[in-house]
Each structure stands twice: as C-alpha cells, then as structure tokens.
Structure 1
Amino acid sequence: MADEERNEADPRSFLTCAAEVARLMDLGSAADVPEARRARHLAHAVRKPLLERTHLPEEFFAPLMAAAVYDPDPSFCRWFIEPAVYAFGRRRVMSTLLDYLRTGTNAEQAGAKRAWYCAHVPLRANRSPAYAPDGSRDPAMDDSRDVMDKWRETLRRSAM
C-alpha cells in the first residue's frame, strides 16, 4: 500500500483531519503538494475562509476538533480551534477537549492539552463574522468556568 493510501485510510492522522476540513470547505485535496507538507498546506488553505464565514454547519465541528487535536504543532492548532470557538462557542470546544483528555488515546490527550491553550483565544467581534452574526452573542456559549474546573481536576487525578 502506498503511503498516500495509508494516510487516507488512517482517520487518526493530521493529514486526514486537515483534508476533511478542506473537503468540507470545497478546497480540494492539494494532491500536487508533496505529502510531507500537504497537511500544513491544507491547514493554511482553510484558515482564513473558516474565520470569514458567518456560520459553520454542524458537520464542521467534529472535523475541526479532530484537526486541532491531531495537529502536531501547538502554534498552529489555533487555526482550527479559533473558528470553532467563534462558531460553536468556547464552552462546547472546551468540553470536547475535556472529553479527549478523559477518554482519548495518549496522542489525543497530548493533542487536547496543546489545543486547550488555544481555546482561550480572546473573542473580538471584528475578528470573525461568526462572533455575532445577528448582533449579539449568547454568553452561555462561552461560559466555561465549570469546564475549566473539570479540566484541572482531570489533570490532577491523572498526575496521581
């Protein structure tokens, strides 16, 4: 089996996660980009269009979260977390990362820890039209104090 086929068959690779987000955005597969750089190329291609949308359909949520968790670079997983926070709310994003931390594989737990920092991105109305397309944002979308407490408790328990 060719490397490209193996990556396409592995739902747990950063490349397949980034490719799924690009597919949802109708941006293509970047087959002309060398495989070693393809995932980062796709991530870069989706970054700006994701932030420019006033709404992301529900089908985007799980692929965005998977791409953020599987992104090996903690500096870039924000490219997936930030649009998810704007469109779906900080609470939901953090709750999903908490689920990865609690039940994920070792790789998923490490990825959730990297992405957790990005989930604290400051929200600004002028950064994304998804912030408040109707002029107001429900504060419950971003109230995450209890989720942060659960995160800290889960980390504390895992350190014992």
Structure 2
Amino acid sequence: MTGEDHRDADARSFLSCVTEVARLLGLSDAADVPEACRARHLAHAVRRALLEQARLSEELFAPLMAAAVHDPDPSHCRWFVEPAVYVYGRRRVLTALLDCLRPGTEAEQAGARRAWYCAHVPLRGDRSPAYAVGGRRDPALDESRDVIEAWRTLRQGDQSR
C-alpha cells in the first residue's frame, strides 16, 4: 500500500468514526457536503454539540474515542477528547487511549499518542456544562497516576526495541 493509499484509508476511517458520532448525537450525516470536506464539516458540527452537553450517552464513548484516535489533524482530535474528559473523566479517557496503543496499527498508535496529549487539558468549570454546578467534581473521575505510569512503561518498552 502506498503512502497515498494509507492516507485515503485513514481519511475513510476518520469519516466513518465522525459519522457515527454525529449519528449518535442526532446530527445530519452531511451527505450534501463534498466527500473531501465531509469529515471536517461533521467534526465541526459534532464539536459544537459535544461542548453543549452536560451528559453524553454511554454508547457514545467508544465512537468518540475512535474519532479522536482516527482524526488525522493533531490539533482537532482535541474536539473529541476534551468533551470526553469532562463527561467521562480523564481516567477513563486515558485508559481507552492506552488500550488503543497496545494492539493498534501504526496509525492508531500515532492517533492515540496525539489524543493522549489532548487528554491532559486543564478542567475549568466555565468550559463545559458537564462540570458540576458549584465547581465540584468527583476526583475519582480524574485520578490517573497508575494509567499514566502504565503508559510510560509501555512507551519505554516500545523505545527499547
């Protein structure tokens, strides 16, 4: 497979992921948008919808993480990661990304590394309605020292090969 074939496959994977997120949020599939622009168009629509939600369904978690991992733009994968951190907690997001790193393809591993960086966003009460009223949040949602250590251990093992 050539580099261009890989990019096309990656773009199709991202489009599939973001289309599923849009579907679960009840958004249009943007079929009227040219295919070359459709994934980014949907990502914009999804971003707005995600940031407005105080709660997200359980069935949305895996597709949201898949979209984050498959987003080819390092600065835009945050659009999927940040709402997930607010709603599901940093611990759960980091654990899902760690799980992507282990068996994933090279593209998935690269995407997991990009999303990992984004998962460390500072949490602010004014950024998301998912943040508890009064600025309180269950600390267990974000306790992730053991997951971070597992990530470091796995990455060190990869680098020593």
Q: Does TM, scored on the shorter chain, surpass 0.5?
A: yes
What is the rounded CA distance, in whole Å, between the counterparts of 2:64 and 2:143 in structure 1? 20
Shift of 1:133: 5.2
TM-score (norm 2): 0.89
What is the rounded CA distance, in whole Å, between the counterparts of 2:68 and 2:141 in structure 1? 19
What is the rounded CA distance, in whole Å, between the counterparts of 2:114 and 2:82 in structure 1? 13
Shift of 1:159: 0.9
**8 Å CA contact retained: 2:125, 2:135:** no
Aligned equivalent of 1:156? 156
What is the number of equivalent residue pairs in this alignment?
A: 150
Q: Alpha-carbon deviations, 1:68-113, whole Å to 9, x = none?
A: 0000010000000001000000000000000111121221111101
TM-score (norm 1): 0.90
**8 Å CA contact retained: 1:91, 1:142:** yes
**8 Å CA contact retained: 2:53, 2:130:** yes
1:39-118 alignment runs, 5 A limit: 39-118=39-118
Q: Alpha-carbon deviations, 1:35-60, whole Å to 9, x = none?
A: 01100000000102101111001011
Cα 1:39–1:104, aligned 2, differ >3 Å: closer, same or farther?
A: same
1:115-126 alignment runs, 5 A limit: 115-126=115-126
Amino acid at match of 1:112: A
What is the rounded CA distance, in whole Å, between the counterparts of 1:154 and 1:37 in structure 2? 36
Cα 1:17–1:133, aligned 2, differ >3 Å: closer, same or farther?
A: farther
**8 Å CA contact retained: 1:54, 1:133:** no
